[in-house]
Protein backbone atom coordinates (compact mmCIF):
# COMPACT_ATOMS: atom_id res chain seq x y z
CA UNK A 1 0.00 0.00 0.00
CA UNK A 2 1.45 3.34 -1.07
CA UNK A 3 1.05 6.30 1.33
CA UNK A 4 -0.86 8.18 -1.38
CA UNK A 5 -3.76 5.77 -1.00
CA UNK A 6 -4.38 6.88 2.59
CA UNK A 7 -4.01 10.52 1.54
CA UNK A 8 -6.60 10.14 -1.23
CA UNK A 9 -9.01 8.23 0.99
CA UNK A 10 -8.67 10.82 3.77
CA UNK A 11 -9.30 13.65 1.30
CA UNK A 12 -12.40 11.89 -0.02
CA UNK A 13 -13.65 11.83 3.59
CA UNK A 14 -12.97 15.56 4.04
CA UNK A 15 -9.65 15.21 5.88
CA UNK A 16 -7.28 17.33 3.83
CA UNK A 17 -3.57 18.07 4.26
CA UNK A 18 -2.64 21.06 6.36
CA UNK A 19 -2.30 24.25 4.30
CA UNK A 20 1.31 25.00 5.22
CA UNK A 21 2.59 25.75 1.68
CA UNK A 22 4.94 22.78 1.98
CA UNK A 23 5.81 19.57 0.17
CA UNK A 24 5.90 16.01 1.51
CA UNK A 25 8.22 13.59 -0.29
CA UNK A 26 7.00 10.00 -0.60
CA UNK A 27 8.50 6.83 -2.13
CA UNK A 28 8.19 6.31 -5.87
CA UNK A 29 5.23 4.32 -7.13
CA UNK A 30 7.20 1.49 -8.69
CA UNK A 31 7.64 0.30 -12.26
CA UNK A 32 9.35 3.57 -13.16
CA UNK A 33 6.33 5.68 -12.26
CA UNK A 34 6.38 8.83 -10.13
CA UNK A 35 3.80 11.52 -9.42
CA UNK A 36 3.10 14.99 -8.09
CA UNK A 37 -0.24 15.53 -6.33
CA UNK A 38 -1.23 19.04 -5.23
CA UNK A 39 -3.93 19.93 -2.73
CA UNK A 40 -4.71 23.45 -1.53
CA UNK A 41 -1.56 24.67 0.21
CA UNK A 42 0.30 21.35 0.25
CA UNK A 43 1.85 19.06 -2.36
CA UNK A 44 3.10 15.47 -2.40
CA UNK A 45 5.99 14.30 -4.57
CA UNK A 46 6.20 10.52 -4.93
CA UNK A 47 9.65 10.04 -6.40
CA UNK A 48 13.03 8.39 -6.10
CA UNK A 49 14.32 11.94 -5.61
CA UNK A 50 14.41 13.43 -2.14
CA UNK A 51 14.00 16.98 -0.87
CA UNK A 52 17.73 17.75 -1.26
CA UNK A 53 17.63 16.69 -4.92
CA UNK A 54 15.07 19.39 -5.73
CA UNK A 55 15.93 22.05 -3.14
CA UNK A 56 17.46 24.42 -5.71
CA UNK A 57 14.11 24.46 -7.56
CA UNK A 58 12.22 25.32 -4.35
CA UNK A 59 9.04 23.27 -4.92
CA UNK A 60 6.19 24.30 -2.65
CA UNK A 61 2.52 23.67 -2.01
CA UNK A 62 1.44 26.79 -3.86
CA UNK A 63 2.11 25.54 -7.37
CA UNK A 64 5.87 25.26 -7.73
CA UNK A 65 5.78 21.50 -7.17
CA UNK A 66 4.25 21.39 -10.67
CA UNK A 67 6.85 23.68 -12.21
CA UNK A 68 8.18 22.26 -15.52
CA UNK A 69 11.74 22.23 -14.18
CA UNK A 70 10.66 20.02 -11.25
CA UNK A 71 8.86 17.58 -13.53
CA UNK A 72 11.75 17.48 -16.03
CA UNK A 73 14.23 16.63 -13.29
CA UNK A 74 11.95 13.89 -12.01
CA UNK A 75 11.62 12.40 -15.47
CA UNK A 76 15.32 12.52 -16.28
CA UNK A 77 16.73 12.71 -19.81
CA UNK A 78 14.76 9.76 -21.19
CA UNK A 79 11.57 9.85 -19.14
CA UNK A 80 8.13 11.24 -19.99
CA UNK A 81 5.66 13.59 -18.31
CA UNK A 82 1.90 13.15 -18.43
CA UNK A 83 -0.72 15.88 -18.49
CA UNK A 84 -1.69 17.81 -15.39
CA UNK A 85 -5.17 16.55 -14.52
CA UNK A 86 -7.91 17.43 -12.07
CA UNK A 87 -8.28 14.77 -9.37
CA UNK A 88 -12.00 14.07 -8.88
CA UNK A 89 -13.92 11.51 -6.83
CA UNK A 90 -17.44 10.32 -6.09
CA UNK A 91 -18.77 7.65 -3.74
CA UNK A 92 -19.74 4.32 -5.26
CA UNK A 93 -23.43 3.49 -5.39
CA UNK A 94 -23.26 -0.28 -5.72
CA UNK A 95 -25.93 -2.49 -7.22
CA UNK A 96 -24.38 -2.79 -10.68
CA UNK A 97 -24.51 -6.12 -12.47
CA UNK A 98 -22.54 -5.49 -15.64
CA UNK A 99 -20.20 -8.17 -16.98
CA UNK A 100 -16.68 -7.21 -18.15
CA UNK A 101 -16.17 -7.45 -21.90
CA UNK A 102 -12.77 -8.99 -22.70
CA UNK A 103 -13.38 -8.32 -26.41
CA UNK A 104 -12.68 -4.66 -25.61
CA UNK A 105 -9.17 -5.39 -24.30
CA UNK A 106 -7.56 -4.19 -27.52
CA UNK A 107 -9.45 -0.89 -27.60
CA UNK A 108 -6.99 2.05 -27.34
CA UNK A 109 -8.71 3.38 -24.20
CA UNK A 110 -8.41 0.00 -22.49
CA UNK A 111 -4.77 -0.38 -23.57
CA UNK A 112 -4.08 3.11 -22.18
CA UNK A 113 -5.69 2.14 -18.85
CA UNK A 114 -3.75 -1.13 -18.60
CA UNK A 115 -0.45 0.73 -19.07
CA UNK A 116 -1.20 2.82 -15.97
CA UNK A 117 -3.44 0.71 -13.75
CA UNK A 118 -3.74 -2.79 -12.32
CA UNK A 119 -6.72 -5.16 -12.40
CA UNK A 120 -8.33 -3.24 -15.27
CA UNK A 121 -11.80 -4.35 -16.37
CA UNK A 122 -13.62 -2.92 -19.37
CA UNK A 123 -17.39 -2.51 -19.65
CA UNK A 124 -19.67 -1.25 -22.39
CA UNK A 125 -19.40 -1.57 -26.16
CA UNK A 126 -17.03 -0.36 -28.89
CA UNK A 127 -19.10 2.85 -29.31
CA UNK A 128 -18.90 3.73 -25.61
CA UNK A 129 -17.02 2.14 -22.72
CA UNK A 130 -15.56 2.67 -19.28
CA UNK A 131 -12.77 0.96 -17.37
CA UNK A 132 -12.30 0.27 -13.68
CA UNK A 133 -8.97 -0.56 -12.09
CA UNK A 134 -6.46 0.27 -9.38
CA UNK A 135 -4.59 3.42 -10.29
CA UNK A 136 -2.43 6.04 -8.62
CA UNK A 137 -1.36 4.84 -5.18
CA UNK A 138 -3.70 1.84 -5.44
CA UNK A 139 -6.93 3.87 -5.46
CA UNK A 140 -10.09 2.75 -7.32
CA UNK A 141 -10.00 4.61 -10.62
CA UNK A 142 -12.10 4.88 -13.76
CA UNK A 143 -11.75 6.15 -17.29
CA UNK A 144 -14.44 6.62 -19.90
CA UNK A 145 -14.66 6.94 -23.66
CA UNK A 146 -17.87 7.89 -25.37
CA UNK A 147 -18.73 7.68 -29.02
CA UNK A 148 -18.29 11.13 -30.64
CA UNK A 149 -21.84 10.78 -31.97
CA UNK A 150 -23.60 9.69 -28.77
CA UNK A 151 -24.69 11.43 -25.52
CA UNK A 152 -23.72 8.40 -23.41
CA UNK A 153 -20.84 9.83 -21.38
CA UNK A 154 -22.84 10.59 -18.24
CA UNK A 155 -24.67 7.28 -18.51
CA UNK A 156 -21.34 5.44 -18.59
CA UNK A 157 -20.08 7.37 -15.55
CA UNK A 158 -23.26 6.48 -13.65
CA UNK A 159 -22.75 2.83 -14.59
CA UNK A 160 -19.16 2.94 -13.28
CA UNK A 161 -20.46 4.25 -9.96
CA UNK A 162 -22.94 1.37 -9.70
CA UNK A 163 -20.06 -1.07 -10.27
CA UNK A 164 -18.21 0.45 -7.29
CA UNK A 165 -19.17 -0.73 -3.78
CA UNK A 166 -21.52 1.67 -2.02
CA UNK A 167 -19.64 4.33 -0.08
CA UNK A 168 -16.24 3.47 -1.57
CA UNK A 169 -14.51 6.42 -3.28
CA UNK A 170 -14.04 6.16 -7.04
CA UNK A 171 -11.44 8.50 -8.55
CA UNK A 172 -10.98 9.97 -12.01
CA UNK A 173 -8.19 12.12 -13.44
CA UNK A 174 -9.70 14.59 -15.91
CA UNK A 175 -7.82 16.96 -18.20
CA UNK A 176 -8.99 20.49 -17.35
CA UNK A 177 -9.05 21.45 -21.03
CA UNK A 178 -11.59 18.71 -21.72
CA UNK A 179 -14.44 20.88 -20.48
CA UNK A 180 -17.12 18.51 -21.77
CA UNK A 181 -15.68 15.68 -19.69
CA UNK A 182 -15.27 17.90 -16.62
CA UNK A 183 -18.92 18.95 -16.85
CA UNK A 184 -20.02 15.34 -17.21
CA UNK A 185 -18.15 14.20 -14.12
CA UNK A 186 -19.44 17.17 -12.11
CA UNK A 187 -22.99 16.42 -13.20
CA UNK A 188 -22.58 12.83 -12.00
CA UNK A 189 -21.56 13.94 -8.51
CA UNK A 190 -17.77 13.92 -8.81
CA UNK A 191 -15.97 16.51 -6.68
CA UNK A 192 -12.56 18.05 -7.54
CA UNK A 193 -10.08 17.71 -4.67
CA UNK A 194 -6.58 18.11 -6.14
CA UNK A 195 -4.43 18.14 -9.26
CA UNK A 196 -1.99 15.44 -10.33
CA UNK A 197 0.58 14.51 -12.93
CA UNK A 198 2.28 11.18 -13.61
CA UNK A 199 5.96 10.99 -14.52
CA UNK A 200 7.55 7.97 -16.19
CA UNK A 201 11.23 7.40 -15.48
CA UNK A 202 13.13 5.18 -17.90
CA UNK A 203 15.98 4.39 -15.52
CA UNK A 204 15.41 4.45 -11.77
CA UNK A 205 19.10 4.69 -10.87
CA UNK A 206 19.79 4.54 -7.13
CA UNK A 207 16.50 3.71 -5.43
CA UNK A 208 15.70 4.75 -1.88
CA UNK A 209 12.77 2.52 -1.14
CA UNK A 210 10.42 2.97 1.75
CA UNK A 211 11.65 6.43 2.73
CA UNK A 212 9.45 9.42 3.41
CA UNK A 213 11.15 12.79 3.68
CA UNK A 214 9.65 16.20 4.27
CA UNK A 215 11.08 19.48 3.05
CA UNK A 216 11.77 22.16 5.70
CA UNK A 217 8.51 23.98 4.98
CA UNK A 218 6.43 20.80 4.92
CA UNK A 219 4.30 18.69 7.19
CA UNK A 220 3.05 15.13 6.76
CA UNK A 221 0.15 15.77 9.15
CA UNK A 222 -3.28 15.43 7.53
CA UNK A 223 -6.29 17.53 8.31
CA UNK A 224 -7.28 21.12 7.61
CA UNK A 225 -9.46 22.51 4.88
CA UNK A 226 -10.72 21.16 1.56
CA UNK A 227 -9.21 22.25 -1.72
pLDDT given at position 206: 41
- Bridge-partner residues for 181, per DSSP? none
pLDDT given at position 157: 95
The CATH topology of domain 86-191 is Aminopeptidase (3.40.630)
Total length of the chain: 227
Task: Sort 180 into a burial class: Cβ within 10 Å, 0-12 / 13-18 / 19+.
Answer: exposed
- Share the mean pLDDT of the chain: 88
Task: Sort 214 into a burial class: Cβ within 10 Å, 0-12 / 13-18 / 19+.
Answer: middle
pLDDT tens digit sequence for 159-214? 999 999 999 999 999 999 999 999 999 999 999 999 999 999 975 444 433 444 33
Q: How far apart are CA 208 and CA 204, in angstroms?
A: 10
Of the pLDDT bands very low, low, confident and very high (cuts 50, 70, 90), residue 1 is confident
Q: What is the pTM of this model?
A: 0.86
Angstrom distances, CA of residue 171 to CA of 23, 54, 135, 185, 191: 22, 29, 9, 10, 9
pLDDT tens digit sequence for 61-113? 999 999 999 999 999 999 999 999 999 999 999 999 999 999 998 899 999 99
Domain ranges of the chain: 3-85+196-214, 86-191
Amino acid sequence: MHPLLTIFRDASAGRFPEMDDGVTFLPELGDGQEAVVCFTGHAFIASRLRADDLSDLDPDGLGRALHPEVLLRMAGPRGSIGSIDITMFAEGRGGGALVPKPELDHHPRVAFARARRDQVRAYGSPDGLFTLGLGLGGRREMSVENSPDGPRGRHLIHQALTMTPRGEPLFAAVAPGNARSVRSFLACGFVPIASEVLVRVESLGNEKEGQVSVSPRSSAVLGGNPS
